Amino acid sequence: MTNKVRKAVFPVGGLGARFLPATKAMPKEMLPVVDKPLIQYAVEEARAAGIEEFIFVTGRGKSSIEDHFDHSVQLDRVLRERGRDQEADELRSWVPEPGQVAYTRQQEPLGLGHAVWCARHLIGDEPFAVLLADDLVQAATPCLSQMTAAYEGTGGMLAAVMEVPESAVSRYGIIDPNGRDGALVDIKGVVEKPRPEKAPSNLAVIGRYILMPEVFEFLGRKERGAGGEIQLTDALAWMIGKVPFHAFLFEGRRFDCGDKVGYLAANYAYAMARDDLRENLLLAIRDIGDGQ
């Protein structure tokens, strides 16, 4: 029997420097893809996977995230007074219930591993998920739902991976595989941002994890890794051999929304998936092309 994954950590303390000036006064996680902020996609994915507690690791200037996942009494009243009850109901439908949301601060930008460590007291002694809002996964079955289904059979830890070109391996944590069974890949090592000639594979870890609380033991040492930061990848490598640990080749398309081109591609893909937008979007793109 495996313990159910009930809690999810959302590291949202980053500065979003690659999207300045848009992110000077707005968290990058609140950047919209079509009409929904990135962080809402991540929370909805977690909820679809059965997550019951949502833990945000924030920083300065992130209060709009807290406001977003709260009820706006004034907005609700105005919508209902104008006969827009369906919109008001929809705004309430994705807000977690009272007591399901917690916030803690990452007071220094010391890396992803440090952000996860900041949530240790809220996690306690149980498995948990980590979702990075920058990584938006468009899939028929949400990525974390795929992973929790696999976790029920494997237990231990899972890290979502995807194949990347050799030229891109230096931007990711790369796994050293030790055999594959369907979507599951046994892991014998993880390397953070290796040079292409030293990469053990082209399987890159993306921002979806199911972790065991034992990772906090390593993260608590606060050892600096690549880039002088406390790397979650180093904690994953330390966990190999201590608990079952698999990479998971998810089904779906991942967009790197921490990158401007990836963000624009996500907007296009999600708009094209909507019947109410597709036709007019194609006409607008055609007009832009004709004008160049």
Superfamily of domain 7-291: Spore Coat Polysaccharide Biosynthesis Protein SpsA; Chain A (3.90.550.10)
pLDDT of 2 over the 90 cut: no
Q: How many angstroms separate the CA atoms of 248 and 159, rounded?
A: 6
H helix or E strand, kind and range, residue 46: helix 38-48
Instruction: Read off the pLDDT band of 292 (50, 70, 90).
Output: low
The pLDDT of residue 116 is 95
CA distance linking residue 207 with residue 198, whole number of Å: 22
Q: What integer pLDDT is reported at residue 62 of this predicted model?
A: 86
What's the confidence (pLDDT) of residue 229? 81
| The predicted structure's pLDDT at residue 223 | 82
* Whole-prediction pTM: 0.93
CA–CA dist 237, 215 (Å, integer): 10
Is the pLDDT reported for residue 1 higher than 70? no
Whether the per-residue pLDDT at 107 is higher than 90: the answer is: no
What CA–CA distance (Å, rounded) separates 148 from 141?
A: 11
Q: What is the pLDDT of residue 99?
A: 87
At residue 291 the predicted structure's pLDDT band, cuts being 50, 70 and 90, is: low
For the chain, what's the residue count? 292
pLDDT grade, residue 7 (50/70/90)? very high
Helices (H), 94-169: 112-117, 120-123, 143-154
- List pLDDT tens digits, range 49-79: 999 999 999 988 888 999 999 888 899 899 9
Start-to-end CA span in the chain (Å): 61
Nearest to 115 by CA among 57, 173, 43: 57
> Mean pLDDT over residues 122-127, rounded?
95
